[in-house]
Copies of this chain bind each other. A is one copy, B any other.
Amino acid sequence: MTAGEASGRGPRARMVFSAAQLLRRGGVGATGMRDVVEHARAPRGSLQHYFPGGKEQLVNEAVEWAGQYAAGRVARFVAGLPEPTPSGLFAAMVRQWTDELARAGETSGCPVAAAVVDRADTSESTRTAAAAAFATWTGPLAGALTDMGVPAARAEALATVMISAVEGALLIARAERDVRALTTVARELGPLLDGAVVRH
């Protein structure tokens, strides 16, 4: 989700990407349409052309993009694991945030969380988009767990636990400007996750 992913794509995709990026910082309220255009280095006139639904549509697509991004990372994390264990996968998910937090001043959060906090009660479509984003994230995550030997019945529940813990710990970590909460949940939840694996 760092810079560099924006180049090469068209203006439309860049705007969605930039919107997601800015949502992570100050939420929906602090993310102006003009800011998105400038961040994406896109023409302002393209806004009403590509997003006739206005800010709501842009936010929704940014949330959708974030969900797909998170889902895609799951497979990459599994591939990068020396041996595929649930605790290892969870640690990798957490490490993505601790690494970003370790880089100077970077304390951005999750765009989906921002959308929920700012718009869940206001925009039904945004609320739905956020729910869909969580679902597209949970799917591959639960799939990875079952591949590691977690019974299908528990895999989805544990995937929800993993996402909840990461999102919540990220909130605390941003407030404290410290990775403590993130590393804590990774350490404490590891045994629980690995304990769900059934040997065969």
Chain A contact residues, majority secondary structure: helix
Knowing A29-B29, A184-B160, the reply to whether A117 touches B109 (Cβ < 8 A) is: yes
Residues of A42-68 at the interface with B, using a CB-CB cut-off of 8 Å, are: none
Answer whether A26 and B118 are a contact pair too, CB < 8 Å, given A166-B168, A168-B168, A188-B161: yes
Contact residues of A between 96 and 145, Cβ < 8 Å to B: 107-109, 112-114, 116-122, 127, 130-131, 133-134
Q: Is the CB of B181 within 8 A of A160?
A: yes
Chain A residues bordering chain B, tally (CB within 8 A): 51
**Interface pairs A-B: 8 shortest CB-CB:** A29-B29, A164-B168, A168-B168, A167-B168, A130-B175, A164-B169, A131-B175, A27-B118
A-B contacts, 23 of them at CB < 8 A, read A25-B121, A26-B118, A26-B121, A27-B28, A27-B29, A29-B30, A30-B118, A107-B120, A108-B121, A109-B116, A109-B117, A109-B120, A113-B117, A116-B171, A116-B174, A117-B118, A127-B175, A131-B172, A157-B188, A161-B189, A164-B172, A167-B171, A189-B192
